[in-house]
Amino acid sequence: MMASFADASPYSIDIIPKTEIEVLNQEIAEDEAMYRIRARKRVHYLTIPVHPDPVFDEFTLCRPYLLIPKLPPFPNADWTKIRVFQSPGGEIKSDISYEPLSQIQSSWHPRHIDVLSLKRISSHNARVKEVEFEGRTVFSKMAIFEWWIPQVERETRVYEIIAENQCPDKPPIAPAFLGHLTEQGRTIGFLIENIQGDYASLVNLPECEAALRRLHSMGLVHGDANRYNFVVERSTGHVKMIDFEHAEAYDEEKARLEIEELKAQLTEETGRGASVMVVNGVEKRSGAAPIPYTYHADEN
């Protein structure tokens, strides 16, 4: 269902003030700019053409403080998407959609947490944040746009399989899954525990191989078994794997290759697969030597 508010009377609908609109995420592609926007207590998705009929210049598109004042009115209603465009006469108009957004279907954990209720501490990338939850620091991972749903869905399902197959007498091979993240009731991500540890190195090969073989025994291959996806917990020395968004159903040949290539992966020094984290606007990238998997804002 589409609705146009370009010609609506300002007195016929409740309009959200621009001061109450915040860009949460943005992605500028060659033909379209996409934004995840918070307007009061709702999240909406905005698209603006970039080519061949641009509405705003690239400088404005990349800077929310310049873009927001130029946007058409945001009705205070339960719509999902807004498309901003320019009419043949040069007037900026918009179409609003009430169509439901896709969501993660694998909702197996009893906890569901509203993503807007979390306080962000730092960012590893657009989809992975360090957040405060119930007085502790944990990690959130979510599909900030709909095209990320399949990958986060896959990872959510992997955590379910791991939880179902966890032996009580063996250490976990992955961080604890703390619950599903929701946005206006739809599931878009999850929370996992914050492991205090270091990225694995060659000295951790036996433990990493054991963890990887246990994953294989659960009917899965990791799909991206690089050293930065193995974390050695400082307090126990146990290895836990992370980042399962490329995991697949078990395949004998792929599993064999993961084991064979593991030694080379653990000696990797280029930083491939490492995360870049932003704390208070400052980037931190993992280096060649084992570095802390987790940072805190007060460490700057």
DSSP string, 138-183: EEEEE-SSGGGHHHHHHHHHHHHHHHHH--TTS--SSPPEEEEEEE
95: CB partners within 8 A, 6+ apart: 2, 3, 4, 82, 83, 85
**What confidence score (pLDDT) does residue 90 get?**
87
Record the pTM: 0.84
What are the pLDDT tens digits along the chain (300 aa)? Answer: 555 554 444 445 799 999 999 999 999 999 999 999 999 999 999 999 998 889 999 999 999 999 999 999 999 999 999 999 998 888 999 999 999 999 999 999 999 999 999 999 999 888 999 999 999 999 999 999 999 999 999 999 999 999 999 999 999 999 999 999 999 999 999 999 999 999 999 999 999 999 999 999 999 999 999 999 999 999 999 999 999 999 999 999 999 999 999 999 999 776 555 554 443 343 344 433 332 333 223 333
Complete domains list, the chain, with CATH: 13-97 (no CATH), 112-299 (1.10.510.10)
Distance between alpha carbon 129 and the CA centroid of its chain, in Å?
7
Are 237 and 207 within 8 A, CB to CB?
yes
Paired tokens of 256? 């064999």
Q: Which of 241, 175, 234 is nearest to 208 (CA)?
A: 241
